[in-house]
């Protein structure tokens, strides 16, 4: 009888060990990798990926960029499309153009558990180069741990221009074409 009870307990323990372990993915706050040309004005979306059922009801972060390469609009952050309508930016961020920092962007609202853009920033490309986009002072739900960060990068290239033909070249081309048509007409006669 004891032998049978031990075998039953061992069998139950074996089945329990075969159950898959529950793995909860950490939320990820990320910036994109983007290539633009000098003079372009463009949007940098900051996204969050929430894979587990824990909901987000507050976020805060600072974002660094390379000020000689790109510049950000003074307005700071604007609402991302995944935020519920009642979310409020307590701070769109203080933009330090010299140091290349957008400091203390923060917002809160009703809890949500979704993946998408939480904030947008408008940048302008100033000169050729690479500007890393790195996060600091990040808090989700008033906690500075339990999530991952994925930095981004802006690569600014030279603007390629297609040379426009000069007026003299256009007039000369038109005269050559008219002259060629006149020769063809004479040859037909």
Residue 168 has pLDDT above 80, yes or no: no
Report for 9-18, 104-113, 130-139, 158-167: range of highest mean pLDDT: 130-139
161: Cβ–Cβ under 8 A, 6 or more apart, which residues?
Answer: none
Percent over 70 (pLDDT), the chain: 77
Q: Output the CA torsion 123→136→151→70 (10° steps).
A: 20
Strand, coil or helix: what is 80? coil
State pLDDT tens for residues 41-60.
999 999 999 866 668 999 99
Confidence class of residue 106 from pLDDT cuts 50, 70 and 90?
very high
**Strand (E) or helix (H) holding 66:** none
Confidence class of residue 150 from pLDDT cuts 50, 70 and 90?
very high
Average pLDDT for residues 80-87, to the nearest whole number?
94
Per the model's pLDDT, the better-predicted residue between 164 and 29 turns out to be: 29
Query: Which CATH entry fits the domain spanning 24-157: 2.60.40.680, 1.20.120.1200, 3.40.50.720, 3.30.505.10?
Result: 2.60.40.680
- pTM (2 decimals)? 0.72
Strand, coil or helix: what is 76? coil
User: Which residue's entry shows tokens 């700071």?
Assistant: 76
Q: Rounded CA gap, 63 and 13, in Å?
A: 49
DSSP 117-179: EEEEEEEEE-SSEEEEEEEEEEEETTBSSS-EEE-EEEEEEPPP-PPPPPHHHHHHHHHHHHH
Q: Rounded CA gap, 132 and 65, in Å?
A: 6
Mean of the per-residue pLDDT values of the chain? 85
């Amino acid at each position: 009888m004891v032998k049978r009870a031990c075998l039953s307990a061992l069998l139950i323990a074996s089945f329990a060990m075969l159950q898959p372990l529950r793995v909860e993915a950490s939320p990820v706050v990320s910036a994109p990798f983007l290539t633009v040309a000098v003079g372009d004005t463009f949007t940098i979306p900051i996204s969050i990926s929430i894979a587990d059922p824990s909901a987000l009801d507050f976020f805060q972060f600072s974002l660094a960029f390379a000020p000689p390469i790109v510049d950000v609009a003074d307005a700071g952050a604007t609402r991302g499309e995944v935020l519920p309508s009642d979310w409020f930016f307590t701070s769109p961020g203080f933009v330090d153009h010299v140091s290349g920092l957008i400091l203390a962007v923060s917002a809160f609202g009703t809890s949500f558990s979704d993946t998408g853009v939480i904030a947008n920033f408008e940048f302008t490309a100033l000169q050729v180069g690479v500007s890393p986009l790195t996060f600091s002072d990040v808090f989700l739900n008033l906690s500075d741990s339990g999530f991952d960060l994925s930095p981004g990068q802006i690569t600014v290239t030279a603007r390629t221009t297609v040379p426009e033909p000069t007026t003299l070249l256009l007039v000369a081309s038109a005269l050559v074409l008219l002259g060629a048509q006149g020769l063809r007409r004479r040859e037909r006669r």
